[in-house]
Amino acid sequence: MSDLNLVVMAGRLAADPEFTTFASGATLCRILVTTRSTEPRRRIDVIPVVQWDPADDAVIRDMVRGDRIWVAGAVQRRFWSAEAGRTSRVEVVAHEIQRQRDRKEEDAGVDTGSSE
């Protein structure tokens, strides 16, 4: 069996998306996604997610804290040098980020820009 690095999650934005454009022209979108678990004990996890050159840039730029979203991607560990020495961070590198409709929006027929 071959290896598989696949993440699919649904949750809420913990903060508005942040965008950085580099001299090369590449754009990096950073978001924090909160997910709630009920088993074995209730807790909220905040997962860092990045996406390079988002295809749905305009849709993501319209997202705000609290929006329901889903993310598909892969887990990646980055390393860099800091004053305290070599540091690392685990994050999800998204292939796709979509806004989900809330039940109220579905009832009202609101278009969220999702490709449904």
Task: Give the global pTM.
Answer: 0.81
Low-confidence ranges of the chain (pLDDT < 70): 103-116
What is the rounded distance in angstroms from the CA atom of residue 58 to the CA atom of residue 113? 9
Q: Say what the pLDDT of residue 111 is.
A: 56
What is the rounded distance in angstroms from the CA atom of residue 86 to the CA atom of residue 79? 7
Domains and CATH numbers, the chain: 7-101 (2.40.50.140)
Query: What is the number of residues in the chain?
Result: 116
Strands 43-52 and 85-99: parallel
The reply to whether omega before 40 is within 30° of 0 (cis) is yes
Q: Say what the pLDDT of residue 40 is.
A: 77
Residue type, 42: R
